[in-house]
Amino acid sequence: MLQKLNQTVSVQQLRLEHEHSSVGSRQETGFGALLQNAMEDSQNVRFSKHAAARVEQRGIEVTDSLLKDLNQAVGKAREKGAKDVVVIGQQGAFIVNIPNNVVVTTMTSQEMKQNIFTNIDSAVLL
């Protein structure tokens, strides 16, 4: 799942995917649907390579529920004008750069007790 989050989709990739999927078969979803899905994905939080490695190293389970919570927290922080936020929940802490929708690092709840958060302007508790 994290690999999908790290991908950037271009219009050219969408066009190629659409052309490939419609060759030899009639496709119910068209280019517009593919573009809409890509735009929705771009509004969801992504994980940087560093954060994805930390998730893997620390055994943090990234579930659909967690992603939904992170997206809601980022949306609320964006509404308040936040730029860099720490989102704290049961799974741990996620430092998110709001303008880019990118989780830049993460840590478990046990590691949170031993650290100081710097360079953030907001916190959201899940």
User: Per-residue pLDDT for the chain (126 aa), expressed as one digit of tens each?
Assistant: 444 444 445 555 555 655 555 544 444 567 666 656 655 555 789 999 999 999 999 999 989 999 999 999 999 999 999 999 999 998 899 999 999 999 999 999 888 887 888 899 999 998
CA angle 55, 95, 46 (to 5 degrees): 65
Contacts of 98 (CB under 8 A, 6+ apart): 74, 77, 78, 82, 83, 84, 85
Beta 46-47 vs 102-107: how paired, if at all? parallel
| DSSP tag of 106 | E
Distance CA 4, CA 101 (A): 15
